[in-house]
Chain A
Amino acid sequence: MTLQVALVVPDRELWSGEARTVIAKTTEGDIGVLTGHSPMFGILAEATVVQILTEDSDVRAAVSGGFLSVADDRVSVLAAQAQLGEEVDLEEARRDLAAALAEAQVIGEDSPAVKYATARLRAAGDQA
């Protein structure tokens, strides 16, 4: 038995396929979903990395925030904005982070842009 996972954003389906485990962070805490998980619905924490473990790979995606639903071994991640780790352009993400940080300094707190840029770097495997 495997999980049917779909990671969707408004203008496309970013990733879909079979997986063994989905690891995500909701507003209530970290959650790992295996097959047979009871139906649940949660809100993803702001700008996190969703990890999808398949038989032969480890898919990581930066998600700006959104929803996670689990039912009948189907996992759906709905996000307004998301990017697969392998599609992250490190240079670009670092630039975005620097720009967001500079902007955040003016406001004086971490903006969503900072968090999302950080999540993108983490999804790409960069420990910035």
Chain B
Amino acid sequence: MASGRERILRRRIKSVQSTKKITRAMELIAASRIVRAQQAIAAARPYVTQMRKVVADLGHDPEGQRHPLFRQPEETRRAAIVAITADRGLAGAYNSSVIRTTERLIREYESAGVDVMLVTTGKKAQSYFRYRGRAAESFIGFSERPAFGDAREVAAVVMRAFEEGEVDTVNLVYTRFLSLGSQQVTTRQLIPLLREDIESGTEDDAAEDSGGTIVYEFEPDPEEIVEKLLPSWVEAELLVALLEGAASEQAARQRAMKAATDNANDLLETLTREANNARQAEITQEISEIVGGANALAGASATSE
């Protein structure tokens, strides 16, 4: 019969084993979902590339530049922040990195006397900010598989605020998916459009067909086009951010679950050793008790004779 100590160790081993099974399964699921998420990014690329190109071309047009989208506000009074997180946890530092960066940005703005309008996607950001009593417009339920319709809903809220003059600038905090091994929390100013974004949009263009900046004929006039194009552009940029976030979430989860599985393996090894040790100690003790008992008996019978 196993002693108390060994029994406790065996029970712990069982529980660690079942935890390991779960983390291993989650690791494999995340790995397969990364592929799907990457495909979604690739599928959205043609649309987004075209959209960026067009916006860049408009940014070069003197008339188009007059639109508020391209003008830096003289003074920022109210800023919108869109933070993209996941609905589920167990994804390593994925959620907390975005939330921490968002918090820092909020503090920076507020210490400069700028009001912040917060927009979040994902349950994690929603519950974090709700718990801390910060009002936020939250969207949930699509972090792992964002569709264009989801990007549209988020864009609509942001655009309404910008068009009605409620906010002067819109920032985006999301996780860029650079590669399987590397994701990076990024803060990006979406509106007004930064000069460098206009330039990089044209660079893509140049790389593609070696043409420089083209002077377009705009029908109707550029300002009206920017007016119409702006919501679509914001939708496209949000879609990319959501898709990259989804891929990053899966990558982070895979890494976190792999680490958990590895830890479980190490723990199992140690626990098994301890359990064997305990069992051996018990056997040794039993033997010495028997031997001791036999010796005592032998000694007793020797003296009695």
A interface list, Cβ under 8 A from B: 6, 8-13, 26-28, 38-43, 66-67, 69, 71-72, 74, 76, 78, 80
Contact = CB atoms under 8 A, between A and B. Distances in A.
B216 A39 contact: yes
Nearest to A66: B232
Contacts of B57: 41, 69
B74 interface: no
B214 A72 contact: yes
A54 to B, nearest CB: 19
B276 to A, nearest CB: 56
A69 B216 contact: yes
B218 A72 contact: no
Contacts of B46: 6, 8, 12-13
Interface of B: 40, 43-44, 46-48, 50-51, 54, 57-58, 147-148, 151-152, 209, 211, 214-220, 224-225, 228-229, 232, 235-236, 239
Contacts of A6: 46, 50
B43 A40 contact: no
Contacts of A41: 54, 57-58, 216-219, 225
Given A8-B46, A11-B147, A43 B214 contact: no
A43 B224 CA distance: 9
Given A71-B211, A74-B209, A78-B232, A43 B225 contact: yes
A69 B225 CA distance: 12
A11 B50 contact: no
A47 to B, nearest CB: 15
A72 B232 CA distance: 24
A80 B54 CA distance: 15
A32 B266 CA distance: 69
Contacts of B232: 66-67, 78, 80
B71 to A, nearest CB: 20
A55 B92 CA distance: 54
Given A41-B57, A71-B214, A10 B235 contact: yes
Given A8-B50, A80-B232, A71 B216 contact: yes
Nearest to B48: A10
12 contacts: A6-B50, A9-B148, A10-B47, A11-B47, A11-B148, A12-B43, A12-B47, A43-B224, A43-B229, A69-B54, A72-B209, A78-B54
B217 A40 contact: yes
Nearest to A41: B216
Cβ-closest 5 pairs across A and B? A10-B148, A40-B217, A42-B219, A8-B47, A13-B46
B214 A11 contact: no
